[in-house]
Amino acid sequence: MKAEAPQTIYLKDYTPFGWHVESVHLTFRLAPNSTRVLSKIRFAPNPDAPAQDFFLHGEMLKLIGAKIDGATVTPDVTDEGLTVTVPSGAFLWEAEVEIDPKGNTALEGLYMSNGMYCTQCEAEGFRKITYYPDRPDVMSTFTVRIEGDEKVKLSNGNPQEAGEGFAEWHDPWPKPAYLFALVAGDLVNFPGAFTTMSGKQVELNIWVRPGDEDKCAFGMEALKKSMKWDEDVYGREYDLDIFNIVAVDDFNMGAMENKGLNVFNSSCVLASPETSTDANFERVEAIIAHEYFHNWTGNRITCRDWFQLCLKEGLTVFRDAQFTSDMRSEPVKRISDVIDLRGRQFPEDQGPLSHPVRPESFQEINNFYTATVYEKGAEVIGMLKRLVGDEAYARALDLYFDRHDGQACTIEDWLKVFEDATGRDLAQFKRWYSQAGTPRVSVSESFADGTYSLTFRQETPPTPGQPEKAPQVIPMAVGLLNPNGDEVLPTTLLEFNQSEQTFNFSGFAAKPVPSLLRGFSAPVVLDREAGRDEQAFLLAHDTDTFTRWDAGRQLARETLVDMVLTGATPDMAYIDGLEAVLRDETLDPAYRALMMGTPSQSELAQVLADRGHVPDPDAIWQAAETLAQVKAERWTDLLPRLAAEAEVTAPYSPDAEQSARRALGAAVLSLQTRLDGGAAAETQFGRADNMTLQLSALSNLIRAGRDDAALKAFHDQWQGDRLVMDKWFGLQIAATTPEKVVPRTEALTAHPAFDWKNPNRFRAVMGAMMMHHAGFHSVDGAGYRLLADWLIRLDDVNPQTTARMCSAFQTWRRYDAGRQEMIRAELERIRSKPKLSRDVDEMVSRILGA
């Protein structure tokens, strides 16, 4: 049995809703399986909209009764909503519906997690709460009354009356329904306070399950820093009397920016030194900032329709990256973001799921919360800022807030403020929003009579639905170095906007060495036929922290490619060049730790495929192992020096300085383990008083095959802590050798604590398997089969998480015919599942190219 073909929705078909919503009053009578939702909504005709039937979205709702202006009506109800005849003027709509929060495993709309009620409405979850025009361009004020025995009852806005068994909230700021939130349960709060720049007192709370209060202090500080930063840097002040954050265990995403009531996956807000790694702390800080920043970029100025998702997400990711750079290290943040972009967004952009930053059609919007919309969307903002300059960027943003506060906007509105603020024509720049795929830039150079010339060529390969591409505006930051290593041209921004373009630089006695794409000034692939000598030179001398790191990265990549293709031994020029950098104690330890990294195995597979080879996951694994082994053996005197430098004696703090040293220590330990078989890791495991050290030790013990006792000890210590147990589940797959990946994953799915309906736990296990390149792509197809089995099972329970995890298969066409055939068979098996969700159907069809 197969559902009807899902409907495709197009950007070009946008029409405004025929009515304005003047006010919304909701009453919730909470009961786990039969919550009643009473709505009173004032509608008035929208004179700017074309004539249309009165249609309200609604899914999984039991309509108890409906009235218009007090008179009972009988609407036409379908699975997707209702239609009813309405008066020609303004009117009051009233409805009572019954919903089943406890039975809601999809975690969209109102659902229950560990006995507490919570909501997730973005993108289209509000229609599972009551009948409503559930689209972001319909904005209204909300008044909410919650009735129930729960100790704590929260909604958006400011608290109003409360008493025995009820609480009322009013949000004075008009908002779309996707920002609605309700939370009720026996929660406790970690309180705080903030005084805004105009002197207004704001009450802050982080709400958690009893017992988690001791994991809130860091999140609270991060929230205050975010509020202050948005005032200092963007001039944006908070606009309610209270700001609440709630931690929820069962959550599909990281966190949600509901107005005044952010709901967080507990993994993204709870943190303590004993249970969280440095990386967890940094992530908590960044996500709290991200959701807080949405108050202006997303909530007060929202999206007209879901095609404009990047309007709020690209800008807010860009803002949270600025924040993290300011709080921590700018170069380390930039490099980490590029690693992430190349690891997640480039494969998406270069495969069957490729789509523009602003897609033009979708079947299920949940499938477009992607690295392209978020991370490439943020890169586009970064390029715009580089092109217009910091001062003009600030002016344009002020204009954006002035002009569009309270509105639901489009990318056209966004670009128009930049055009108006700067006088620039951004028509060509707009292609970054409409054209999918990663541009490839090739470079050639010449030198004559003291003039150095760089010629760039750009080409974007075809992507689904877009066979032809036009040239993009590529901000290309370059610098030039003398052969002796001195910089002779400081960073200069070239505006490269034609298919082929030459830039000349004169006045040189000798041919300079170019340092290209400084700061990763555009999300492109640079195909430079540069010799390794040049990369080694840049690794030693470049003044730009990004290009210097990237030179080392490219050397590592070329070395690994050689090793895979020819069985060559590692290039000593790379290893020695890297050693010189590692010995430079003036460089940030975190930067040196990043230098020690190599491209991911999946990235290498893509490089090989791009060059016309069929990547062999086992050969790639082996090359990476050999390279690490050679480094370890070569650096026997360097490693103890670095380990000593990485040692932290002060009490634990997750700050940038200490975490930089621990990052270096972890990189060193992974090489040391190759020499001592895990002895140093065992010592560290025994002594560790924080999760960062404990986990890096455990990871090396797993790698060394000395993990039985350590895994048991870790389990016994942490079995009561669900977030730490997610790490325990994931790490034993992530850190192991390829042949153990599938058997371990299978064994862990039989573990009594494998609660597969909890998205964090499911992702910890299945996500770790997917990410283990050689393990997942095991030649017998066992990894593919196991993942497909579980995706088929999860689809009935949680389509959104299932669909996202299908992306594990997106790179399937890279591999050999045997693996392709096995993956295709698994994708077909998923697609033929009875009652397949719309989310998964769309993803699998796109991946198959069907």
Residues at the site binding Zn ion, with contacts judged by CB under 5 A: 313, 316
d(CA 379, CA 372): 10
- Residue 347, token pair as written in the block: 């494969």
- Smallest separation (angstroms) from Zn ion to the CB of 287: 9
E strands of 577-735, at which residues?
none
Rounded Cα distance, 800 and 809, in Å = 16
- State which residue, 374 or 393, has the beta carbon closest to Zn ion: 374
State the CB neighbour count (10 A cutoff) for residue 683: 12
CB of 626 closer than 8 Å to CB of 604: no
Q: Do residues 837 and 798 lie in contact, with contact meaning Cβ atoms separated by under 8 Å?
A: no
CA 735 – CA 738 distance, rounded (Å): 9
Q: Which is nearer to Zn ion, 371 or 827 (CB)?
A: 371
Instruction: Please state the length of the chain.
Output: 850
Query: 124 vs 131, 268, 484, CA distance in Å?
Result: 12, 23, 59
**DSSP string covering 328-346:** S-HHHHHHHHHHHIIIIIH
Min separation Cβ 414 and Zn ion, Å: 16
Distance CA 8, CA 199 (A): 49
291 is catalytic: yes
Hey, how many other C-beta atoms are within 10 angstroms of the C-beta on 824? Answer: 16
- Closer to Zn ion at the Cβ: 25 or 294? 294
516 C-beta neighbours (distance < 10 Å), count: 23
Which of residues 313 and 707 has its CB atom nearest to Zn ion in the complex?
Answer: 313
First to last CA, the chain: 19
Full 3-state SS string of 594-638: HHHCCCCHHHHHHHHHHCCCCCCHHHHHHHHHHHHHHHHHHCCCH
SS3 of 252, please? coil
List, as one string, the DSSP characters of 741-799: HHHHHHHHHTSTT--TTSHHHHIIIIIHHHH-HHHHT-TTSHHHHHHHHHHHHHHTT-H
Complete edge-to-edge strand list for the sheet that includes strand 513-516: 487-496, 474-481, 513-516
Least distance (Å) from Zn ion to the CB of residue 368? 13
- Residue 404, number of CB atoms within 10 A of its CB: 19
CB-based contact 221:135 (threshold 8 Å):
no
Q: Which is nearer to Zn ion, 348 or 550 (CB)?
A: 348
Residue 121 near residue 109, CB atoms below 8 Å: yes
Q: What is the DSSP string of 6-74?
A: PPPEEGGG----SEEEEEEEEEEE--SS-EEEEEEEEEEE-TTSPP--EEEE--S-EEEEEEETTEEE-
Instruction: Choose between 82 and 107: whose C-beta lies nearer to Zn ion.
Output: 107
> Is the distance from CB of 526 to CB of 441 less than 8 angstroms?
yes
Q: What share of the chain is helix, strand, coil (3-state, %, to 5)?
A: 45, 20, 35
Return the bridge partners of 707, or none. none
Give dist(CA 482, CA 487) in Å, integer.
6
Spot the catalytic one: 150, 291, 379, 826: 291
Question: What is the C-alpha separation between 157 and 670, in angstroms, rounded?
Answer: 49
Residue among 787, 845, 774 nearest 815 (CA) = 774
Q: Are 499 and 468 in contact (CB under 8 A)?
A: no
Q: Are strands 201-208 and 242-248 parallel, antiparallel or unpaired?
A: parallel
- Contacts of 754 by beta carbon, 8 Å cutoff, 6+ apart: 729, 748, 761, 765
Which positions are catalytic? 291
